[in-house]
Amino acid sequence: NAGVTQTPKFQVLKTGQSMTLQCAQDMNHEYMSWYRQDPGMGLRLIHYSVGAGITDQGEVPNGYNVSRSTTEDFPLRLLSAAPSQTSVYFCASSRDGYGYTFGSGTRLTVV
């Protein structure tokens, strides 16, 4: 049972490039979320989903897109990377909406 798998673990992008952070879970969880972690700010919600085909914005959605075509996958797309998007990104999933399992994170640097 792999849990929540995030790829890649590390990524360096140039300003203006686009990329997709992958997140997959094998627990058949309906709820999935993306967070970014910045020093002194805790984790801030970017986007979330309560089931396949349903997504909504969180606290800091600008510059990011998501889709949820399957229960298992919830990719996060950076449309045009900016230095302000340098962060550690975490994907999380939950069966019931309140006990979340987190992935190990993607450390993104935008230069």
Partner 1 sequence: GNSVTQMEGPVTLSEEAFLTINCTYTATGYPSLFWYVQYPGEGLQLLLKATKADDKGSNKGFEATYRKETTSFHLEKGSVQVSDSAVYFCALSDQGSNDYKLSFGAGTTVTVRA
Interacting residues toward partner 1 by CB under 8 A: 4, 31, 33, 35, 40-45, 48, 50, 58, 90, 92, 94, 97-105
Tell me how far, at minimum, the Cβ of 99 lies from partner 1, in Å. 6
| Pairing status of strand 19-25 against strand 76-78 | antiparallel
Q: Which is nearer to partner 1, 8 or 99 (CB)?
A: 99
Contact 68, 51 (CB under 8 A): yes
Tell me how far, at minimum, the Cβ of 55 lies from partner 1, in Å. 12
